Amino acid sequence: DIKGFVFDLDGVITDTAQFHTKAWSKLAQQLGVEWSDELQNGLKGLSRMDSLELILTTGGKENDYSATEKEKLATQKNDLYLQFVKTITPADIFPGIKEFLDELNQQGYLMSIASASKNAPTVLSKLELTDYFEHVVDPNTLTKGKPDPEIFIKAAEIIGLKPEQCIGLEDATAGISGINAANEVSLGVGSPAILTEADMVFEDTKEITLANIKAKMNS
Ligand code: B16
Ligand code: MG
Protein backbone atom coordinates (compact mmCIF):
# COMPACT_ATOMS: atom_id res chain seq x y z
CA ASP A 1 0.00 0.00 0.00
CA ILE A 2 1.08 3.54 -0.74
CA LYS A 3 1.89 5.45 2.45
CA GLY A 4 4.04 8.33 1.25
CA PHE A 5 4.84 10.82 -1.48
CA VAL A 6 8.30 11.89 -2.53
CA PHE A 7 8.32 15.27 -4.28
CA ASP A 8 10.77 16.78 -6.67
CA LEU A 9 10.63 20.57 -6.26
CA ASP A 10 11.69 22.43 -9.40
CA GLY A 11 9.06 21.83 -12.08
CA VAL A 12 6.67 19.91 -9.80
CA ILE A 13 5.76 22.29 -6.98
CA THR A 14 6.69 25.53 -8.71
CA ASP A 15 8.16 26.74 -11.99
CA THR A 16 11.72 27.30 -10.83
CA ALA A 17 12.67 25.05 -13.78
CA GLN A 18 12.09 28.15 -15.90
CA PHE A 19 14.62 30.11 -13.79
CA HIS A 20 17.22 27.32 -14.03
CA THR A 21 16.68 27.34 -17.80
CA LYS A 22 17.06 31.13 -18.06
CA ALA A 23 20.26 31.10 -16.01
CA TRP A 24 21.83 28.10 -17.79
CA SER A 25 20.93 29.32 -21.28
CA LYS A 26 22.55 32.66 -20.52
CA LEU A 27 25.72 30.89 -19.41
CA ALA A 28 25.63 28.60 -22.47
CA GLN A 29 25.39 31.63 -24.72
CA GLN A 30 28.35 33.22 -22.97
CA LEU A 31 30.35 30.00 -23.47
CA GLY A 32 29.34 29.75 -27.13
CA VAL A 33 27.32 26.55 -26.67
CA GLU A 34 24.18 26.26 -28.79
CA TRP A 35 20.95 25.96 -26.78
CA SER A 36 18.34 23.36 -27.80
CA ASP A 37 15.17 21.75 -26.43
CA GLU A 38 17.12 18.53 -26.07
CA LEU A 39 19.79 20.20 -23.93
CA GLN A 40 17.11 21.98 -21.89
CA ASN A 41 15.28 18.71 -21.12
CA GLY A 42 18.54 16.87 -20.43
CA LEU A 43 19.55 19.46 -17.82
CA LYS A 44 16.38 19.04 -15.76
CA GLY A 45 17.06 17.39 -12.41
CA LEU A 46 20.85 17.27 -12.85
CA SER A 47 23.01 18.67 -10.07
CA ARG A 48 24.66 22.04 -10.63
CA MET A 49 28.06 20.57 -11.61
CA ASP A 50 26.53 17.77 -13.71
CA SER A 51 24.51 20.44 -15.53
CA LEU A 52 27.63 22.48 -16.29
CA GLU A 53 29.42 19.35 -17.51
CA LEU A 54 26.52 18.51 -19.84
CA ILE A 55 26.59 22.03 -21.31
CA LEU A 56 30.35 21.91 -21.84
CA THR A 57 30.24 18.40 -23.36
CA THR A 58 27.38 19.43 -25.67
CA GLY A 59 29.58 22.24 -26.99
CA GLY A 60 32.68 20.02 -27.19
CA LYS A 61 34.31 22.21 -24.53
CA GLU A 62 34.69 19.69 -21.70
CA ASN A 63 38.48 20.10 -21.63
CA ASP A 64 38.60 23.87 -21.94
CA TYR A 65 38.13 24.81 -18.28
CA SER A 66 39.98 24.01 -15.07
CA ALA A 67 38.15 22.83 -11.96
CA THR A 68 38.49 26.32 -10.46
CA GLU A 69 37.08 27.95 -13.58
CA LYS A 70 34.17 25.51 -13.57
CA GLU A 71 33.42 26.39 -9.95
CA LYS A 72 33.33 30.06 -10.95
CA LEU A 73 30.98 29.41 -13.86
CA ALA A 74 28.65 27.37 -11.64
CA THR A 75 28.64 30.15 -9.02
CA GLN A 76 27.88 32.72 -11.71
CA LYS A 77 24.85 30.66 -12.81
CA ASN A 78 23.69 30.23 -9.23
CA ASP A 79 23.97 33.96 -8.48
CA LEU A 80 21.69 34.73 -11.43
CA TYR A 81 19.31 31.92 -10.40
CA LEU A 82 19.08 33.38 -6.90
CA GLN A 83 18.12 36.77 -8.35
CA PHE A 84 15.07 35.07 -9.88
CA VAL A 85 14.35 33.12 -6.67
CA LYS A 86 14.06 36.42 -4.77
CA THR A 87 10.89 37.22 -6.73
CA ILE A 88 9.06 33.99 -5.73
CA THR A 89 5.87 34.26 -3.66
CA PRO A 90 3.26 31.67 -2.52
CA ALA A 91 1.24 32.68 -5.62
CA ASP A 92 3.89 30.84 -7.65
CA ILE A 93 2.91 27.41 -6.31
CA PHE A 94 1.58 25.43 -9.28
CA PRO A 95 -2.24 25.23 -9.45
CA GLY A 96 -3.72 22.52 -7.24
CA ILE A 97 -0.48 21.59 -5.49
CA LYS A 98 -1.30 23.26 -2.17
CA GLU A 99 -4.72 21.55 -2.19
CA PHE A 100 -3.03 18.22 -2.93
CA LEU A 101 -0.58 18.68 -0.03
CA ASP A 102 -3.51 19.47 2.29
CA GLU A 103 -5.33 16.39 1.06
CA LEU A 104 -2.26 14.23 1.76
CA ASN A 105 -1.89 15.71 5.25
CA GLN A 106 -5.55 15.16 6.07
CA GLN A 107 -5.38 11.53 4.93
CA GLY A 108 -2.21 10.89 6.94
CA TYR A 109 0.22 10.34 4.09
CA LEU A 110 3.88 11.12 4.73
CA MET A 111 5.84 13.37 2.42
CA SER A 112 9.41 14.38 1.70
CA ILE A 113 11.44 16.37 -0.80
CA ALA A 114 13.87 14.74 -3.25
CA SER A 115 15.31 17.77 -5.00
CA ALA A 116 18.80 17.92 -6.45
CA SER A 117 18.79 21.62 -5.63
CA LYS A 118 20.90 23.05 -2.82
CA ASN A 119 18.48 25.98 -2.94
CA ALA A 120 15.41 23.86 -2.17
CA PRO A 121 15.02 25.07 1.46
CA THR A 122 15.15 28.70 0.27
CA VAL A 123 12.54 28.08 -2.43
CA LEU A 124 10.25 26.21 0.01
CA SER A 125 10.52 29.10 2.42
CA LYS A 126 9.64 31.67 -0.30
CA LEU A 127 6.59 29.53 -1.15
CA GLU A 128 5.70 29.29 2.58
CA LEU A 129 5.69 25.50 2.30
CA THR A 130 8.41 24.76 4.84
CA ASP A 131 5.87 23.44 7.38
CA TYR A 132 4.62 20.84 4.91
CA PHE A 133 8.07 19.40 4.39
CA GLU A 134 9.78 18.51 7.60
CA HIS A 135 11.82 15.98 5.64
CA VAL A 136 14.11 17.21 2.86
CA VAL A 137 16.98 15.12 1.50
CA ASP A 138 20.20 17.14 1.75
CA PRO A 139 21.77 16.91 -1.73
CA ASN A 140 25.20 17.40 -0.13
CA THR A 141 24.89 13.88 1.32
CA LEU A 142 24.47 12.22 -2.10
CA THR A 143 27.22 10.25 -3.78
CA LYS A 144 25.37 10.21 -7.12
CA GLY A 145 22.83 12.58 -8.66
CA LYS A 146 19.68 11.82 -10.65
CA PRO A 147 19.14 9.55 -12.65
CA ASP A 148 20.71 7.45 -9.87
CA PRO A 149 17.95 6.24 -7.49
CA GLU A 150 19.90 7.26 -4.34
CA ILE A 151 17.99 10.52 -3.65
CA PHE A 152 14.61 8.77 -3.98
CA ILE A 153 15.64 5.89 -1.72
CA LYS A 154 16.82 8.40 0.91
CA ALA A 155 13.60 10.39 0.56
CA ALA A 156 11.61 7.25 1.45
CA GLU A 157 14.02 6.37 4.27
CA ILE A 158 13.71 9.77 6.02
CA ILE A 159 9.96 9.26 6.34
CA GLY A 160 10.46 5.68 7.53
CA LEU A 161 9.05 3.98 4.45
CA LYS A 162 10.18 1.40 1.93
CA PRO A 163 10.45 2.68 -1.65
CA GLU A 164 7.56 0.41 -2.71
CA GLN A 165 5.30 2.33 -0.31
CA CYS A 166 6.01 5.63 -2.07
CA ILE A 167 4.92 7.53 -5.15
CA GLY A 168 7.59 9.83 -6.59
CA LEU A 169 6.61 13.00 -8.47
CA GLU A 170 8.98 14.32 -11.15
CA ASP A 171 9.07 16.62 -14.18
CA ALA A 172 12.47 15.40 -15.44
CA THR A 173 13.24 12.27 -17.44
CA ALA A 174 16.35 11.80 -15.25
CA GLY A 175 14.08 11.92 -12.20
CA ILE A 176 11.56 9.41 -13.57
CA SER A 177 14.45 7.01 -14.29
CA GLY A 178 15.65 7.42 -10.70
CA ILE A 179 12.18 6.82 -9.23
CA ASN A 180 11.72 3.69 -11.35
CA ALA A 181 15.16 2.38 -10.39
CA ALA A 182 14.32 3.03 -6.72
CA ASN A 183 11.21 0.84 -7.10
CA GLU A 184 8.76 3.60 -6.34
CA VAL A 185 5.68 4.38 -8.41
CA SER A 186 6.60 7.17 -10.85
CA LEU A 187 4.24 10.09 -11.41
CA GLY A 188 5.37 12.38 -14.22
CA VAL A 189 4.40 16.06 -14.32
CA GLY A 190 4.52 17.33 -17.89
CA SER A 191 4.30 15.99 -21.40
CA PRO A 192 3.55 12.24 -21.84
CA ALA A 193 5.57 12.41 -25.08
CA ILE A 194 8.68 13.27 -23.05
CA LEU A 195 7.97 11.37 -19.81
CA THR A 196 7.45 8.05 -21.60
CA GLU A 197 8.94 5.93 -18.78
CA ALA A 198 6.58 7.21 -16.08
CA ASP A 199 3.92 4.90 -14.57
CA MET A 200 1.44 7.77 -14.93
CA VAL A 201 1.63 11.32 -16.26
CA PHE A 202 -0.32 14.47 -15.39
CA GLU A 203 0.00 17.33 -17.85
CA ASP A 204 -1.77 19.73 -15.52
CA THR A 205 -0.92 19.94 -11.80
CA LYS A 206 -4.60 20.75 -11.08
CA GLU A 207 -5.41 17.14 -11.99
CA ILE A 208 -3.11 15.70 -9.32
CA THR A 209 -5.53 14.44 -6.65
CA LEU A 210 -5.65 11.19 -4.67
CA ALA A 211 -8.78 10.12 -6.56
CA ASN A 212 -7.16 10.67 -9.97
CA ILE A 213 -3.97 8.89 -8.89
CA LYS A 214 -5.93 5.89 -7.60
CA ALA A 215 -7.88 5.77 -10.87
CA LYS A 216 -4.65 5.71 -12.88
CA MET A 217 -3.09 3.05 -10.64
CA ASN A 218 -6.04 0.75 -11.20
CA SER A 219 -6.15 1.23 -14.95
P1 B16 B 1 21.00 24.00 -7.56
P2 B16 B 1 14.97 19.37 -8.80
C3 B16 B 1 17.15 20.47 -9.76
O4 B16 B 1 16.07 20.50 -8.90
C5 B16 B 1 16.82 21.26 -11.02
O6 B16 B 1 15.84 20.58 -11.79
C7 B16 B 1 18.06 21.40 -11.85
O8 B16 B 1 17.77 22.17 -13.00
C9 B16 B 1 19.17 22.06 -11.02
O10 B16 B 1 20.36 22.14 -11.77
C11 B16 B 1 19.41 21.22 -9.78
O12 B16 B 1 18.21 21.11 -9.06
C13 B16 B 1 20.49 21.78 -8.88
O14 B16 B 1 20.05 23.00 -8.37
O15 B16 B 1 21.98 24.58 -8.53
O16 B16 B 1 20.01 25.00 -7.03
O17 B16 B 1 21.67 23.21 -6.46
O18 B16 B 1 14.27 19.34 -10.11
O19 B16 B 1 15.72 18.10 -8.47
O20 B16 B 1 14.11 19.88 -7.68
MG1 MG C 1 12.49 18.94 -11.36
- pLDDT band at residue 219, thresholds of 50, 70 and 90? confident
Query: Which atom of ligand 1 is closest in space to residue 119's alpha carbon?
Result: 16
- CA dist list (Å): 198 to 83, 190, 206: 33, 10, 18
Rounded Cα–Cα distance for residues 102 and 34 (Å): 42
Q: Out of 9-13, 94-98, 132-136, 215-219, pick the least confident.
A: 215-219
**Percentage above 90 pLDDT, the chain:** 98
pLDDT of 41-56, one tens digit each?
999 989 999 999 999 9
Per DSSP, the three-state class of 216 is: helix
Pocket test for ligand 1, best of 16, 20, 39, 55 (most atoms within 8 A of CB): 20
Q: Average pLDDT over the chain, rounded to whole? A: 97
92: annotated active-site residue: no
Ligand 1 centroid distance, CA of 64 (Å)? 24
**Percentage above 70 pLDDT, the chain:** 100
Query: Which atom of ligand 1 is closest in space to residue 118's alpha carbon?
Result: 17
pLDDT at residue 101, as a whole number: 98
pLDDT of 90-119, one tens digit each?
999 999 999 999 999 999 999 999 999 999
15: annotated active-site residue: no
pLDDT of 6-29, one tens digit each?
999 999 999 999 999 999 999 999
Q: In Å, how far from its chain's centre is CA 155?
A: 13
pLDDT at residue 197, as a whole number: 98
